[in-house]
Structure 1
């Protein structure tokens, strides 16, 4: 099914304007998003582009039809950080990247992200990268020097820097560029570099080596989506140098100004008002939050409350409010069949440059009006209130009467013996598991709060 009459507008970084989205081919809409470098668990900031572009993917499928949208997101599995992790841990590189790739898919799945149609790994596309580099040399846009191949920025000086809005001269003045004797221009960037025997390497016309960071996305998007495609997305931290360099490589290889038509960038994430950093102790992986009892659906709703182009602040208060909202919505829609499509106002907000905050306001309105079927269909479009995401909400309806009875008996006994240590121990354990403990003469009531984790009750 498609709702082709909906006009999607997207803020195009390339033109700095909000533009009506017109796909090159409405029956083959194509999107590429830069994915993770797989050497560790994904942190909360890594999850933001995944959720943002998952929402765009869902919207495109809704408007053009599920079978007519192709979404590719890469895994960078050749990188100096991975090599360093392998050297430090003594584990094989392939083992580390396979494990961390699966972790990423598992953790993002918990946040309700659909898997892209293509998830290419850089190591599977080395021949295509070598071919593209060879082509760039042949066209005069790259040169080999001392086992390296570098992109010659001067060969494309007119256009280089347009995406990020910088001139080459400004960039050289302000950039922390890697100065190397074999570079003709300090801004020239590496397409290929030599590998020592202890590092991953592939044979090439320039000797055994490995690709630079930027070439992989150019080669993989070309291979999977063609030389021109509709949307290229990623975090705004990738705008320069990564996306700028991708554009330079791809346009020069294509021999014209064609590559991605619309460029979308999401803003960064903070935690409790501060930039996430290990030194501040506010650095979380997605798995950390899931293990602390924050359901994936709750994390997703917190993310969607902020427009993707605004900095997002993760706070515990927001998570607790999101959890309360989702419990209310799930209670309202329990056993209800969703409407045949999302509410018109919800689609309109989503089509307006992914105004997810506006969508959530509409969901609150539908809930207040008691339109359970409309609420369910509209929330489903955002990847919320789905059956797959609901296990956490079903969990707290588990039978807590046994725990209530144990605590009540312990309390009765303590009233006689005046020895309250067992009551305190049980109560502390129940609170630690995320339950609110209400005790009265009549009995004990346990109420699941935000972050209730039934696993913590085991062995009580």
Structure 2
């Protein structure tokens, strides 16, 4: 099979053909570290982590870059409101992000560049654009530098917009712009309202980089002028990725061969964000489910499909994953298959079709449960196949990244979940075989331990003493 990906730039599903055989370079726009990460933030990280794992499983040597924006207007405003230095806010929120991503087993990137660590590369790229006639210093004495959108005829091609369809770029005072849609590459230091620490020297005076230019400069440093895949959330297509592509190509860099965008996780039909007051911080969510269960919930949806978040759906997904774990425990799934099921490979090669891939996992688990019930030795082979598939998705329960299963209260809760899930699987098998005496005996055994079973249209639910 050949991996196919939906390329936003062409609006087509295209076969993945790497620029260099056996290697793949991926750049993903990371977060602006201004606040604690919520469920909506981490979806992109999980989706592109799955892409990275799949390419690695297919034999590619993957260089994976995910940046951090650690200086911008929002960080300066929030740090001032909180009465602390901007770099302290950015540092603390960056650590919160690292903890959140580790909790859901997102692999660390090959490199994680930060904007403030790449000022020389940013200044060099802006200077090149000025020299080529695609950028200009503002004439109002602000020290700002802007990209001249009229100088680049292809501007708007990523999102297929004409200049007349675009809103003004609200990233700087429009008085210094030749056109309201020109966007800031460099922002002059505002001595009256910004700390001096938030500025760096440049040919145009002290200042700091605009949002878009940092990614072009960092992608070029670590992946070169041309690389394979650029990813990010669908909300970044315009203006961020449109501007990245324009300024990079205007500087003579081919830039990304494929553009991939993941959809939002929404609440009440709106993008999940702090401004809506409906954000769900990762530590709070992990009080309800384990990190591996949250990751399963995200992975089970196709990366380009919008997800309407609800705790009911999350807990249903968690229960489904516990059934998978229960099978692995009963089957003694300690080995990993060397090959993956063809249906799983076909699903993943079809634009990372994780819903179909998860369906293959479930189907294999069902076969394994039947083999266990029949005393068939094939159950162990099926368990190894399940672990191989889960490993590609970053969901192998035996992965050390998830930590020791029996450590602390969380580990104890995990053990209880697994034991109950295993007994419920046995009860389901007994009912399917119309062995109702055995099914009732399992229910009574759980009841004696204080576990209350409720049979629902979506499967059995359990609680301790009737309290979930």
Q: TM-score, normalised by structure 2?
A: 0.81
Which residue is 2:177 aligned to? 183
How big is each residue's C-alpha offset from its partner over 1:433-458, in whole Å with a ceiling of 9 and x where there is no partner? xxxxx999x965147998999xxxxx
- Per-residue CA deviation, residues 286-344 of structure 1 (Å, 9 max, x unaligned), is 22211x23211111111122211111122222222222222111121123212113222
Larger mean CA deviation between 190-199 and 296-305 belongs to 190-199
Structure 2 counterpart of 1:264:
260
Query: In structure 1, how many angstroms separate the alpha carbons of the residues matched to 2:387 and 2:327?
Result: 9
Shift of 1:162: 0.7
CA distance in 2, matches of 1:111, 1:101: 16
Candidates 358, 372, 378, aligned match of 2:383: 372
Match of 1:228 in 2: 226
Aligned equivalents of 2:95, 2:173: Cα separation in 1: 37
1:370-449 map, 5 Å? 370=368, 371-387=382-398, 388-389=401-402, 391=405, 394-396=411-413, 445-446=450-451
Query: What's the CA shift for 1:45?
Result: 1.1
Give the 3 Å change call, closer, same or farther, for CA 98–280 of structure 1 in structure 2. closer
Change (3 A) 1:394 1:325: farther
SS of residue matched to 1:71: strand
Measure, in 2, the Cα distance between the counterparts of 1:352 and 1:116.
24
3-state SS, counterpart of residue 237 of structure 1: helix
Pick the aligned partner of 1:32 from 27, 35, 55.
27
- Is the alpha carbon distance of 1:365 and 1:316 closer, same or farther for their aligned partners in structure 2, counting shifts above 3 Å? same
Cα offsets for 1:203-223 (capped at 9, x unmatched): 111011011110000000000
Counterpart Cα distance in 2 of 1:114 and 1:277: 24
Report whether the alignment pairs 1:141 with 2:137: no
Q: CA RMSD in A?
A: 2.8
Say which of 39, 46, 51 aligns to 1:56.
Answer: 51
Q: Distance in 2 between matches of 1:42 and 1:22?
A: 34
State the alpha-carbon separation in 1 of the partners of residues 176 and 462 from structure 2: 55
Residues 452 and 462 in structure 2, CA contact (< 8 A), matched pair in contact too: no
Q: 1:374 to 1:97 in 2, by over 3 A?
A: same
| Residue aligning to 2:251 | 253
State the alpha-carbon separation in 2 of the partners of residues 228 and 264 from structure 1: 16
> Residues of 2 paired with 1:82 and 1:196: CA distance?
15
The 2-side partners of 1:100 and 1:450 are apart by 37
Classify 1:24/1:451 alpha carbon distance in 2 versus 1 (closer, same or farther; 3 Å). Answer: farther
Contact 1:299 1:319 (C-alpha < 8 Å) held by counterparts: yes
Matches within 5 A, 1:72-87: 72-87=65-80
Native 8 Å contact 1:293 1:451 kept in 2: no
In structure 1, runs of 5+ residues without a counterpart are 1-5, 401-437, 454-460
Q: CA offsets, 1:133-156, max 9 Å, x none?
A: 011100101001121111011110
Residues 56-84 of structure 1 show CA distances to partners (whole Å, capped at 9, x for unaligned) of 0001111134xx11000000001111111
* Cα contact 1:439–1:445 (8 A) shared by 2: no
Secondary structure of 2:297's counterpart equals: helix
Instruction: From the superposition, tell whether residues 160 and 104 of structure 1 become closer, same or farther in structure 2 (CA, over 3 Å).
Output: same
Identify if the C-alpha distance between structure 1 residues 339 and 207 changes in structure 2 by more than 3 Å, giving closer, same or farther: same
Structure 1 107/452 Cα, relative in aligned 2: closer, same or farther at 3 Å?
A: farther
Deviation per residue, 1:368-392 (Å, 9 max, x gap): 1112111111111101133233748
* Alpha-carbon spacing, 1:205–1:277, altered in 2? closer, same or farther (3 Å): closer
Paired position in structure 2 for 1:415: none
Per the alignment, residue 353 of structure 2 pairs with 355
Shift of residue 283, structure 1, vs aligned partner:
2.1
Unmatched runs of 5 consecutive residues or more in structure 2: 369-381, 418-442, 454-459
2: distance between equivalents of 1:243 and 1:295? 34
Q: 1:115 aligns with which of 105, 108, 112?
A: 108
CA–CA distance in 2 between the matches of 1:252 and 1:110?
Answer: 40
Change (3 A) 1:230 1:397: closer
